[in-house]
A = this chain, B = another copy of it.
Amino acid sequence: MKIVCTQENLNKGLSLVSNIANKSSNLPILNNVLLKADKEGLTLITTDLEIGIKALVRSKIEEQGEFTVDAKLLHNFVSFLPKENIELNLQEDSLEIKSSNQETSIKGLVAEDFPLIPDMEKTNMVELPVQEFKKGLHQVILAASLDTSRIEINAVNFDFQNNNLVLAATDSYRLAEKKLKLANGQKTSLIIPLKTLQELSRILNEQAEKKLKIYFNDNQILFEFDGVELTSRVIDGKYPDYNQIIPAQFKTEAKCEINKLVPAIKSVALFCKQGINDIRLSLDSKKQKIVIATASSHTGTSVAKVDAKISGEDNDIVFNYRYLLDGLAQLGSSEVNIKMNNNASPGLLQPVNDDKYIYLVMPIRQ
């Protein structure tokens, strides 16, 4: 195996694939990246057995071959090299790396021992603008359960409804749902592991490419963009029927500026009981104010008022302030619509003028 490529291209490829490597102590070869030089060019491949990532690196293949070396080590090393051509050369049990002023030899393992994720057929394709998908993914991911023993909700539900893709996530304390438009229709529902989507989100942040293609079958999903393919298993299970907990109508609605509401919540929250994180939101329609107050405290008390446009009856609910802040940070608008029924029913946050996103928070009953 002998390859010539630029430092920039190799470094970019390694930054895409190396993050999921290096997390397994049981199977040391999973720390490695597989370098595969064939007619198609140089492909970098990593896997953690659940996710597989492939990135094509523009390069000149002088001799075909394949080999594996520690992914993080190679990535760190290449990141320090100057922006110039690099020559990669397989020599017995080591990968030799030559640049103009540096010669390096990294010990590695043969490619035959590398566990490959089986290639999946590229069927059932949908195409999405990367930026919209990324924003939607961020908006729902924050509500997914972090409890890895609850695999159905340690995930995001992808519901393909012909010309809509509905993303949904919940940890049973809050629920986020985002509707995205699709040009072409598919009809199915898949549960995608949170870990897959965190990795996808990380990789998409470094991408300039405009279109994302998604392929799927009953067992696997494949995200493709700009020479990168991320393959993941899908979760075999049934996603909770969350629509029943979204209230059909609300008794009180308040509209206010997010950059006034957030510091008010944060300052009052300094005094709430840690672990419970309880603060009280009162919607006062006569005074047209949202009143935020400590719900319980031993260090002090605080009451803050924020101007709002409030319609409907007065209302009074206790929330975990962290869940409120999480949602407010991802609305992507300058104003929020807050909708409530009573102190036992969930409250809803929505960006003003955008009904494609909802963020629902359960109240703390006092």
Contact = CB atoms under 8 A, between A and B. Distances in A.
Contacts of A76: 270
A77 B107 contact: no
A303 interface: yes
Interface of A: 70, 73, 76-77, 80-82, 94, 101-107, 263-264, 266-267, 270-271, 298-306
Copies of the polypeptide in the assembly: 2
Given A101-B304, A102-B304, A304-B102, A77 B267 contact: yes
Given A80-B266, A263-B82, A267-B81, A299 B103 contact: no
Contact of A263 (B80, B105, B107, B303): B80
Contact of A300 (B80, B104, B305, B306): B104
A206 to B, nearest CB: 21
Contacts of A298: 107
Given A106-B300, A300-B94, A306 B101 contact: yes
A104, A106, A107, most chain B CB atoms within 10 A: A104
Contact of A73 (B73, B103, B104, B270): B270
Contacts of A80: 263-264, 266-267, 270
Nearest to A294: B104
Contacts of A303: 102-104
11 contacts: A70-B299, A73-B299, A73-B300, A77-B302, A81-B267, A82-B263, A101-B305, A102-B304, A104-B302, A105-B300, A107-B299
